[in-house]
């Protein structure tokens, strides 16, 4: 993945980024990318029904900013360690995506893209995350995986995106962040690299 790693870092560093006034509660997530069985994968978690918001949803590991976090990147890495046992030293941060807001809970999320080695000695905390979900990037790029519909939120129509993979539905802010990442991934990789085997 050496060539694609550098291209993806360059794409993330040079793409125009959308900034948003922090009118809600700040949060951060990590989009963990890795090579497994010759394919690029993204790691997601399924939230438990014990959390206050976004119960049982598929999401990226991450959470709300806390007073002791030096930066939002530290927030994302701390939450990864707490939720799934992914240590910060195991993550090579490749860059940021656009700040994204949740529409109903007023979180302002800063997403980071991180490359991790595989396998990792992960451990679910059972309080916030109950399952680790691995999805190949190629599967998410297949025609029909992305679906769009118009919904009315707060009295105004919006285009709502969702990804459907083997009965799993990724929607909301996670789907919007995922769409950004997949766009950056495709721009970074040649047509051959998208489908080619990757090296761990």
Is residue 149 included in any domain, yes or no?
A: no
The CATH number of the domain holding residue 45 is 3.90.79.10
Per-residue model confidence (pLDDT) at position 197: 61
**How many CA atoms lie within 13 Å of 172's alpha carbon, on the beta-carbon side?**
19
Is residue 173 included in any domain, yes or no?
A: no
Percentage of the chain exceeding pLDDT 70: 92
Is residue 200 included in any domain, yes or no?
A: no
Q: How far apart are CA 14 and CA 157, in angstroms?
A: 31
Is residue 88 included in any domain, yes or no?
A: yes
pLDDT tens-digit series, residues 69-83: 999 999 999 999 999
Per-residue model confidence (pLDDT) at position 195: 59
- Sequence-distant (6+) residues with CB within 8 A of 69 are 75, 78
Percentage of the chain exceeding pLDDT 90: 72
With cut-offs at 50, 70 and 90, classify the pLDDT of residue 1: low
User: Which residue in the block uniquely carries the two structure tokens 């800063």?
Assistant: 110
This prediction has a pTM of 0.92
pLDDT tens-digit series, residues 119-143: 999 999 999 999 999 999 999 999 9
Burial class (CB in 10 A: 0-12, 13-18, 19+), 3: exposed
Cα-based distances in Å from 34 to 149, 177, 180, 198: 30, 17, 17, 9
Is residue 84 included in any domain, yes or no?
A: yes
Q: Compute the average pLDDT of residues 79-106.
A: 94
Per-residue model confidence (pLDDT) at position 196: 58
Maximum separation of any 2 CA atoms in the chain, in Å: 48
The distance from CA 30 to its chain's CA centroid, rounded to whole angstroms, is 5
Torsion of CA 126, 114, 37, 175, to 10 degrees: 70
| First vs last C-alpha separation in the chain | 7
Per-residue model confidence (pLDDT) at position 193: 61
Per-residue model confidence (pLDDT) at position 63: 95
- The total number of structural domains that make up the chain: 1
Is residue 154 included in any domain, yes or no?
A: no
Per-residue model confidence (pLDDT) at position 2: 66
pLDDT at 108 over 70: yes
pLDDT at 99 over 90: yes
Q: How far apart are CA 31 and CA 29, in angstroms?
A: 7
Most confident of 51-60, 79-88, 190-199: 79-88
Is residue 174 included in any domain, yes or no?
A: no
pLDDT at 109 over 80: yes
Is residue 17 included in any domain, yes or no?
A: yes
Domain containing residue 23: 2-137
SS3 annotation, 5-45:
HHHHHHHHHHCCCCCCCCCCEEEEEEEEEEEECCEEEEEEE
pLDDT tens-digit series, residues 14-50: 988 877 665 789 999 999 999 999 899 999 999 999 8
Torsion of CA 76, 78, 82, 83, to 10 degrees: 10
pLDDT at 116 over 90: yes
SS3 annotation, 72-107:
HHHHHHHHHHHHHCCCHHHEEEEEECCCEECCCCCE
């Amino acid at each position: 993945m050496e060539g694609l790693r550098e291209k993806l870092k360059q794409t993330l560093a040079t793409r125009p980024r959308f900034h948003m006034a922090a009118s809600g509660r700040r949060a951060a997530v990590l989009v963990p990318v890795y090579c497994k069985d010759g394919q690029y994968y993204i790691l997601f978690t399924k939230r438990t029904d014990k959390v206050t918001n976004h119960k049982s949803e598929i999401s990226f590991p991450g959470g709300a900013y806390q007073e002791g976090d030096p930066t939002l990147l530290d927030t994302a890495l701390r939450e990864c360690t707490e939720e799934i046992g992914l240590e910060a030293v195991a993550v090579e941060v490749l860059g940021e995506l656009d700040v994204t807001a949740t529409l109903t809970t007023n979180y302002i999320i800063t997403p980071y893209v991180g490359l991790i080695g595989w396998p990792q000695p992960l451990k679910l905390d059972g309080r916030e995350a109950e399952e680790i979900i691995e999805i190949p990037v190629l599967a998410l790029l297949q025609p029909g995986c992305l679906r769009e519909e118009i919904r009315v939120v707060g009295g105004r129509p919006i285009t709502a995106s969702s990804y459907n993979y083997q009965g799993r539905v990724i929607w909301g802010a996670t789907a919007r962040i995922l769409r950004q990442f997949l766009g950056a991934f495709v721009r970074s990789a040649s047509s051959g690299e998208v489908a080619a085997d990757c090296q761990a």
